[in-house]
């Protein structure tokens, strides 16, 4: 945090040794291409395009030997000179030598990589090093330094003896140097360790088929090879981060995206110069926060960034360590137990719930009715009976028949079936609803032959009843549950269900499914595939809860945001509405696809995953020694045929390659008799800080971005960046003041 004040000054001034480069270059006279006469004094100076501060440096790629840029014309600024160059442009690393090393694994946590490197150095006697890859977001462990690939190969058995499978890599070495070759064939050395490049005439910059705002910087890293860096305005950077972290199609709630924008802005400011020796502040992968450049931008996430411009989360006046995670599995965890080097009071575990309930009061059940458990077909019949009896004094089979025709939008024809036997019901329905012609046109010999294979529950039906039954089956009348078995008589409720099914199938009544957003006055807002719709909470609506495949009718329904719901409408009138109990219960994150998971991994595969942490050919035991208050496994003893290692925190997740630390584990046997481990878990991510899926759930239920942030980061304040100017009469700038005053930002 100490470096924040310095970095802040750096960002504001946009030009100091450790911070990003100047926002614009006044542009001395253009550097002349090799071999051409010097520029005349009256030739206009070429200015490097202005990119407004604050600027961030984002590492896009590491260790290239050459970078080619295809455009027609480029403005290059290096060594204090700015020049216009014809494309295509190439930057070439001019390291004097290359180094051959052995790579022994790559790790997301630098601490793990360093500890594995030190351990392997001790075991092999080879000199260790750790190299970060911007594109992979991993710290590679490398050992030794060999004159040739053959010599490196000869040393591989040392690694194998230490229980690690390694491979040979070539690294640049020698004095950092860079040369530029332009489209006219001119090649010139670049003074200094970097060159800034922007397309001339408003073209876009692209790297590896992604477009970026700002400009590109080619940076010679300490190994003498090239890193590609995107230098970009902080807010423009966030426009490429928020949609990559929380896709606006899936997370279509502005307040959740605003919370993500504030967290991402805070994270960026808290991690300035995170990879300073590599020439950048942040990488573009999940190791830092995902940045996908211009192509990812979306109007909704742009709005989230714009409406929170300059806003950050602070603790005691400084930007917080704004960690976030996809799906926390019902509760977040104290950061110390996951990342032992970090500690912050606002990164303590909180529950990811509980959703507030809204009650939908619908049609009253008759006094004394015991709520039955209905099949899907019976529920359809139940609704038809209730609608029919509310419109008529009594509910007879004839009344049901008439009501079904009204709902289907057809003139009643024929009469109800004389009995409940399938041979009576199906032909009557087919004829009544005018589907006899459909049978003649659409039901083919092939269809009948197909249905006649054993077992054939319709075998006992007369030919006309059978054809009627197959026609209705073919039309998928009955919905997902299908028609009742044709081998037995129906109940009155099932007959009603069949009639209601025809009304639904002929689209007289529409069925819509979605997720409940929240109550809005006298309506419930439901997110459907076709957008958000409003469902009036009328007291005439038939309600039910669907549990384990059975419908439980009720006169009122408690609902929470994110509940899966389905409703029927005829015109503007809502007929029925039911909810399905969400597997993830009352958590804010119930819509996440990561609320539960199972992984089954062989003991041999697990031993490979341990990499340099512990040698062995198979894992024999996994013992969870300690769990955090959320239930996360935070200390685990893992035993192989070669020994035991104790892993802690996030490294357990990395070593076992699991979605989350919130898991239980059992040892089992595979089909081939080999040992396997079965992991049953919840959540996805590291489980610390803001839960992205939970933030979405909170926003669905009407919470603001500030409420969301203060829930997941308890005790924080919202501040502004850059700091608001001091009010008149405030202490002079020379007096000590916090880097970022915790003042409420204007206008939000």
Q: Which residues bind Zn ion (CB under 5 A)?
A: 328, 352, 589, 691, 694
Shortest reach from residue 341's CB to Zn ion, in Å: 24
C-beta closer to Zn ion: residue 213 or 711: 711
Strand, coil or helix: what is 56? strand
Shortest reach from residue 518's CB to Zn ion, in Å: 18
* Cβ contacts of 510 within 8 Å, gap of 6 or more: 504, 568, 569, 570
C-beta closer to Zn ion: residue 297 or 334: 334
C-beta closer to Zn ion: residue 87 or 685: 685
Shortest reach from residue 331's CB to Zn ion, in Å: 7
H helices, E strands: number in the chain: 18, 37
C-beta closer to Zn ion: residue 62 or 587: 587
Strand, coil or helix: what is 744? coil
Shortest reach from residue 256's CB to Zn ion, in Å: 12
C-beta closer to Zn ion: residue 120 or 352: 352
Shortest reach from residue 529's CB to Zn ion, in Å: 25
C-beta closer to Zn ion: residue 93 or 691: 691
Shortest reach from residue 694's CB to Zn ion, in Å: 3
Write 362-366 long-range contacts (CB < 8 A, 24+). Answer: 362/537, 362/538, 362/539, 362/540, 362/541, 362/542, 362/543, 362/554, 362/555, 362/556, 362/557, 362/577, 363/390, 363/539, 363/540, 363/541, 363/542, 363/543, 363/555, 364/539, 364/555, 365/553, 365/554, 365/555
CA distance 248 to 299: 9
Owner of token pair 């509940």 = 563
C-beta closer to Zn ion: residue 128 or 694: 694
C-beta closer to Zn ion: residue 145 or 704: 704
Cβ proximity of 307 and 748 under 8 Å = yes
Question: Please, is 44 exposed, middle or buried when counting C-beta atoms within 10 Å of its C-beta (0-12, 13-18, 19+)?
Answer: exposed
Shortest reach from residue 711's CB to Zn ion, in Å: 10
* Cβ contacts of 509 within 8 Å, gap of 6 or more: 407, 408, 500, 503, 568, 569, 570, 575
Q: φ, ψ for residue 697 (rounded to 5)?
A: -60, -40
C-beta closer to Zn ion: residue 280 or 684: 684
C-beta closer to Zn ion: residue 665 or 691: 691
Cβ proximity of 563 and 701 under 8 Å = no
Shortest reach from residue 662's CB to Zn ion, in Å: 10
Strand, coil or helix: what is 566? strand
C-beta closer to Zn ion: residue 665 or 708: 708
C-beta closer to Zn ion: residue 267 or 360: 267
Shortest reach from residue 329's CB to Zn ion, in Å: 7
C-beta closer to Zn ion: residue 297 or 589: 589
Q: Which two tokens stand for residue 628?
A: 């955090």
DSSP per position, 269-317: HHTTTTBGGGTBSEESSTTS-----GGG--HHHHHHHHTTTTEEEEETT
Cβ proximity of 650 and 635 under 8 Å = no
Q: Which two tokens stand for residue 433?
A: 């609803």
Cβ proximity of 611 and 640 under 8 Å = no
β-bridge partners, 102: 143, 168
C-beta closer to Zn ion: residue 316 or 593: 593
CA distance 356 to 586: 9
Shortest reach from residue 591's CB to Zn ion, in Å: 11
Taking the chain, what is the end-to-end CA distance rounded to the nearest angstrom? 27
Shortest reach from residue 355's CB to Zn ion, in Å: 12
Strand, coil or helix: what is 520? strand
C-beta closer to Zn ion: residue 247 or 276: 247
DSSP per position, 326-366: SB-TTB---HHHHSTT---GGGS--B--PPPPEEEE-SPPP
Shortest reach from residue 257's CB to Zn ion, in Å: 16
Which of 536, 539, 538 has its CA nearest to residue 520?
536
Which of 3, 70, 476 has its CA nearest to residue 276?
3
C-beta closer to Zn ion: residue 352 or 546: 352
Shortest reach from residue 640's CB to Zn ion, in Å: 34
Write 544-549 long-range contacts (CB < 8 A, 24+). Answer: 544/374, 544/379, 544/576, 544/578, 545/578, 545/579, 545/580, 545/581, 546/578, 546/579, 546/580, 546/581, 547/580, 547/581, 549/375, 549/376
Residue 684 DSSP one-character state: B
Mutual angle of helices 492-505 and 422-432, in 10-degree steps: 30
Shortest reach from residue 589's CB to Zn ion, in Å: 4
Shortest reach from residue 594's CB to Zn ion, in Å: 10
Residue 393 DSSP one-character state: S
Shortest reach from residue 328's CB to Zn ion, in Å: 3
Q: φ, ψ for residue 471 (rounded to 5)?
A: -65, -45
């Amino acid at each position: 945090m100490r470096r924040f004040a310095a970095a802040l000054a750096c960002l504001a001034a946009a030009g100091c040794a450790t911070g990003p480069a100047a926002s614009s270059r006044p542009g001395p006279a253009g550097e002349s291409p090799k071999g051409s006469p010097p520029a005349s004094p009256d030739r206009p100076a070429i200015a490097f395009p202005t990119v407004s501060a604050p600027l961030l440096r984002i590492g896009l790629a590491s260790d290239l030997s050459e970078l080619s840029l295809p455009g027609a014309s480029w403005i290059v600024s290096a060594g204090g000179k700015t020049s216009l160059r014809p494309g295509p442009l190439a930057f070439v690393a001019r390291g004097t030598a290359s180094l051959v090393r052995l790579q022994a694994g790559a790790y997301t946590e630098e601490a793990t990589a360093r500890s594995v490197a030190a351990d392997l150095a001790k075991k092999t006697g080879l000199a260790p090093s750790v190299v970060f890859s911007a594109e992979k977001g991993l710290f590679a462990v490398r050992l030794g330094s060999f004159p040739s690939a053959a010599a490196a190969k000869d040393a591989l058995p040392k690694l194998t003896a230490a229980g690690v499978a390694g491979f040979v890599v070539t690294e640049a070495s020698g004095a950092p140097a860079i040369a530029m070759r332009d489209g006219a064939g001119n090649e010139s050395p670049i003074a200094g360790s970097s060159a800034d490049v922007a397309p001339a005439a408003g073209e876009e910059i692209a790297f590896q088929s992604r477009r970026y705002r700002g400009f590109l910087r080619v940076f010679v890293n300490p190994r003498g090879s090239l890193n590609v860096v995107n230098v970009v305005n902080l807010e423009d950077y966030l426009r490429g981060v928020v949609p990559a972290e929380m896709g606006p199609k899936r997370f279509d709630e502005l307040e959740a995206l605003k919370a993500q924008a504030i967290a991402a802005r805070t994270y960026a400011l808290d991690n300035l110069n995170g990879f300073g020796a590599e020439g950048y502040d942040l990488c573009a992968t999940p190791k830092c926060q995902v940045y996908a450049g211009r192509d990812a931008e979306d109007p909704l996430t742009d709005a989230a960034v714009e409406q929170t411009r300059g806003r950050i989360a602070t603790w005691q006046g400084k930007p917080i360590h704004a960690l976030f995670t996809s799906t926390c599995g019902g509760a977040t965890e104290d950061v110390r137990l996951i990342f032992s080097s970090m500690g912050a009071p606002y990164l303590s575990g909180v529950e990811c719930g509980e959703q507030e309930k809204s009650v939908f009061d619908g049609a009253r059940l008759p006094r004394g009715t015991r709520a039955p458990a209905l099949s899907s077909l019976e529920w359809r019949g139940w609704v038809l009976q209730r609608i029919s009896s509310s419109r008529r004094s009594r509910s007879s089979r004839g009344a049901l028949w008439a009501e079904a025709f009204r709902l289907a939008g057809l003139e009643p024809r024929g009469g109800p079936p004389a009995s409940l036997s399938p041979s009576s019901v199906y032909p009557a329905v087919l004829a009544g609803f005018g589907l006899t012609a459909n049978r003649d046109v659409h039901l083919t010999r092939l269809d009948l032959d197909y249905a006649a294979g054993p077992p054939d529950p319709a075998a006992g039906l007369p030919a006309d009843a059978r054809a009627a039954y197959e026609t209705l089956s073919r039309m998928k009348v009955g919905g997902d549950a299908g028609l009742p078995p044709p081998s037995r008589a129906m109940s009155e409720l099932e007959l009603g269900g069949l009639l209601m099914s025809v009304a639904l199938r002929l689209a007289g009544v529409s069925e819509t499914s979605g997720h409940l957003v929240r109550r809005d006055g006298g309506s419930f807002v439901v997110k459907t595939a076709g957008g958000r719709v409003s469902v009036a909470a009328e007291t005439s609506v038939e309600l039910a809860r669907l549990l384990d495949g059975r419908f439980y009718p009720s006169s009122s329904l408690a609902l929470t945001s994110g509940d899966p719901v389905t409703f029927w409408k005829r015109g503007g009138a809502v007929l029925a509405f039911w909810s399905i109990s969400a597997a993830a219960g009352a958590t804010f994150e119930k819509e996440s696809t990561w609320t539960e998971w199972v992984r089954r991994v062989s003991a041999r595969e697990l031993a490979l995953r341990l990499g340099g942490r512990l040698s062995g050919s198979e894992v024999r035991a996994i013992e969870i020694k300690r769990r955090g208050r959320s239930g996360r496994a935070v200390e685990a003893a893992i035993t192989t045929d070669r020994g035991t290692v104790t892993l802690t925190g996030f490294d357990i997740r990395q070593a076992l390659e699991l979605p989350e630390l919130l898991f239980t584990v059992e040892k089992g046997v595979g089909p081939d008799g080999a040992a396997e481990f079965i992991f049953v878990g919840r959540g996805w991510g590291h489980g610390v800080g803001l839960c992205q899926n939970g933030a979405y759930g909170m926003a669905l239920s009407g919470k603001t971005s500030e409420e969301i942030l203060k829930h997941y980061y308890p005790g924080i304040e919202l501040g502004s960046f850059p700091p608001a100017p001091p009010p008149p009469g405030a202490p002079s700038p020379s007096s000590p003041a916090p880097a970022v005053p915790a003042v409420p930002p204007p206008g939000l």
